[in-house]
Chain A
């Protein structure tokens, strides 16, 4: 025991303690504690007031009483409305991840294989949109797509249509907005993997008789798989919880999970239900992702 204390003292005195643990403090402070709070609210009992749930631990009757319930979870799983909105979000995330991948891969490949000076310029062009607020950029799509927007005006001037077509407020504009917003998150990790790619591997594959398409399938694609997975995660996970884009560009044809949580929090003021939704969403997403990562790590190690 004394040895352990000695070791701990020694360890704490060294500067590298802070170096190693700063990220963990960060995670605990800004991720773990908020998550625990959300979890606490999700098993609390709803009530009118501020905050709108009953105190978790109640001392009022002279004794200790813990007010907790699983009824919030029971409720959201009994109403298929929530499940449907979650599936809507999953399908939105899946579709837009695929579209981002198909648009992003060629762009990332092109950028990675350009000459250095052009490459830097292209990277700056990819990053420039981040200098404008995300909200403004999504609003800009509203302006572009609206009845008196530039697309309708041009189509009418060219005589293809007589009156403006309504393009806003449906699931497709949501996909458009999501793809537009999240495309850089797909391109940048892909670029990171492709830029390290040894061009001689492509030459070697060609030299061994593989035509360009076969070379892509047999060499380039498997070697950029980690980049594809990283980019897809970066798009898929936040899109499942996305509520701003559906709020601004979406219509009433499809309800999305993020927006439901928002409504439960701010419209219904039912914090426990909203928290239960958030917790369920996280669990449903995180568990398959962890399993997938473990499987992929195994695959990566053991080869085909």
Chain B
């Protein structure tokens, strides 16, 4: 017995010849907001469906709060799932959708009405009780779907792409609401998403999945700053990845032909990662500088809060993101400008493939 609330032990699943999940092991603690992140087809939805009980794993076990739920049918599991398209019942109104699950538990009507009322005011659905599902907006549908699950006070709530159907503005707002709600209720959330920004802003911890495997688990900062491999580095944010070689107690960044000092604990590293925001660039007039790295700006994308630059140096292209800290009417650095690039050597992350 471990301390984890939801324990996934060696779960594998095949559909025909296709391996959907390959020996997944995850430990999720109580009241955690955990994300499963990956591109489509990575197996994250299959894992969610196995936790919910809609699919049976070929092997492996799932424990919830110490209880083996691997073989329990969905209707006996003390957890609920919010579906991607919400799967609200079109023949029932908002209130009847919300109380659907409570009616299956043996409560008296007063208790049901009280709990439904509470959840309706918590999710600000007042006044919509009698509306049909197709008569309310997408954001309201999302909250009804959430209410329908939460009213059952589940131990665990599974959310399959909970924000995918909302437009961008509403999505950001709902992200915060979701986090607040989770914090208020203390229910463990598992969120499946393909949107890395969403996962980063929502999660306490996240698991990056690819081809049915979990590549890395960790909190958003860990995963962003210390990705386990090139795939994760590229999947989360933008990554400048360089090959490195050890030359006489120094490292050589091969692509840029730049020597840097050996980090303290470094041995046998093959690659390094410098995130774009950690590289700053400065306009120069000639190549004769003492800076270690000079390059030419190939692309500029002004995004308001920061500007993306694609810099070519030594025939290798990498990104630099610069904060726009001062008000200016035009960009100081433009296409084909000569720039010198600098970074703090502590900002370089070394890893092996």
Contact = CB atoms under 8 A, between A and B. Distances in A.
Contacts of B88: 204
Given A208-B80, A208-B100, A203 B54 contact: yes
B104 A210 contact: yes
Contacts of A304: 92, 96
Contacts, number: 68
Given A207-B80, A209-B104, A304-B96, A222 B74 contact: no
Chain A residues touching B, majority SS:
helix
Contacts of B148: 208
B85 A200 contact: yes
Interface residues of A, number: 19
A2 interface: no
B87 A203 contact: yes
Given A210-B75, A211-B75, A205 B91 contact: no
A218 interface: yes
A282 to B, nearest CB: 33
B92 A303 contact: yes
A176 to B, nearest CB: 35
Tell which of B73, B87, B92, B101 has the most Cβ of chain A within 10 Å: B87
A253 interface: no
A209 B105 contact: yes
B81 interface: yes
A198 interface: yes
A206 interface: yes
B104 A207 contact: no
Nearest to B158: A207
A205 B54 contact: no
Interface in A210-251: 210-211, 214, 218-219, 222-223
Nearest to A301: B132
A209 to B, nearest CB: 4
Nearest to A206: B74
Interface in B119-158: 130, 132, 148-149, 152
Which of the four size classes fits the interface of chain B? 20 to 34
Contacts of B85: 198, 200
A208 B104 contact: yes
A208 B101 CA distance: 5
A303 B93 CA distance: 7
A219 B89 contact: yes
A70 interface: no
A209 B152 contact: yes
B74 A201 contact: no
A204 B160 CA distance: 12
A204 B96 contact: no
Nearest to B145: A204
B83 interface: yes
A211 to B, nearest CB: 5
Contacts of A222: 91
Contacts of A218: 100
A223 B91 contact: yes
B109 to A, nearest CB: 16
A204 B87 CA distance: 6
A303 B81 contact: no
A223 B133 CA distance: 14
A201 B87 contact: yes
B189 to A, nearest CB: 15
Contacts of A211: 75, 104
A204 B74 CA distance: 9
A222 B91 CA distance: 7
A214 B105 CA distance: 12
Contacts of B149: 208
Contacts of B132: 303
B52 interface: yes
A203 B83 CA distance: 9
Given A214-B104, A218-B100, A207 B81 contact: yes
A211 B101 CA distance: 11
Contacts of A214: 104
A207 B93 contact: no
A207 B75 contact: yes
B79 to A, nearest CB: 8
B80 to A, nearest CB: 6
Interface in B52-86: 52-54, 73-75, 77, 80-81, 83, 85
A198 B86 CA distance: 11
23 contacts: A200-B83, A200-B85, A200-B87, A203-B81, A203-B87, A204-B81, A204-B83, A206-B75, A207-B53, A207-B77, A207-B81, A208-B149, A209-B75, A209-B105, A209-B152, A210-B100, A219-B91, A222-B91, A223-B89, A223-B91, A303-B92, A303-B93, A303-B132
Given A200-B87, A209-B101, 13 more contacts: A203-B74, A203-B81, A203-B87, A205-B89, A206-B53, A207-B75, A208-B100, A208-B104, A209-B152, A214-B104, A219-B89, A303-B92, A303-B93
The 3 A-B pairs with the shortest beta carbon distances in the complex, nearest first, are A208-B101, A209-B104, A204-B87
